[in-house]
Amino acid sequence: MGQKVCDVVTVPFAVGGGIGSIEDMQELFKIGVNKVSINTAAVKNPDLIKQAVKKFGRGKIVVAIDGKRIPRAVNHRGWRW
């Protein structure tokens, strides 16, 4: 899918979902993706962020955090991370 988007989009864009390794990122950058978004892999392997930034630069890596609204939650004004 990333390649199809690269073929038609003229603005910078990020790809996320299922990215769990430096090799995954390398493949996406090869086809023209501007940034990669890491979520679950960043939680499971925080060192992956350091490795990715070292290899590709901090401008190429985004860490995504999905929040969930919890009614009457005490922390974070009702948001749970």
pLDDT at 74 (0 to 100):
56
Number of Cβ within a 10 Å radius of residue 33: 20
Q: 33: helix, coil or strand?
A: coil
pLDDT at 66 (0 to 100):
77
How confident is the prediction for the chain on average, in pLDDT?
A: 83
In sequence order, the β-bridge partners of residue 14 are: 35
Distance CA 62, CA 49 (A): 9
pTM, entire model: 0.74
pLDDT at 34 (0 to 100):
92
pLDDT at 14 (0 to 100):
85
**Averaged pLDDT, groups of 10, the chain, 81 residues long:** 66 86 95 91 92 96 80 57 53
